[in-house]
Amino acid sequence: MRKILLLSGGWCLVVIGVVLTPAPVPIPLIGVVPLLVGCAILSRHSKSFRRGLQRLRHRFDFLSHWLEGMHPRFPLHVKTMIRRTRPHALLRLARMRVRRHS
């Protein structure tokens, strides 16, 4: 029951963050905070979400660099999410596939 509540709360925060980020409010990019907190909750409690976030960071390198650059400024849960979703494993897998086909 607790996991269901955490997952639904995480998804709610992600949706709120996605809606608020492009909104014209007095504070620019106010939606990034709930988005990152929601992603931190979901990556902690959902293995498939964590893997999807890792693939997203692998595909969009600028996102990974931005997260790594802002890493010291975020709360502990977001820092843990950033550390756990680093795309190094996917880069290693891609190198292994290239070597196997060579």
* 4-44 tens-digit pLDDT: 999 999 999 999 999 988 888 788 778 888 999 999 999 99
Distance in angstroms (rounded) separating the CA atoms of residues 59 and 66: 14
Q: Find the mean pLDDT for residues 34-58.
A: 92
Which amino acid belongs to residue 31? G
For residue 9, what pLDDT is reported?
Answer: 94
Q: Does 99 score more than 90 pLDDT?
A: no
For residue 11, what pLDDT is reported?
Answer: 95
Distance in angstroms (rounded) separating the CA atoms of residues 21 and 1: 30
For residue 24, what pLDDT is reported?
Answer: 82
Averaged pLDDT score across all residues of the chain? 89
**What does the buried/exposed string (b/e) look like for 76-99 if buried means 16 or more CB atoms within 10 Å of the residue's CB?**
eebbebbeebebeeeeeeeeeeee
Q: The whole model's pTM is what?
A: 0.78
For residue 15, what pLDDT is reported?
Answer: 95
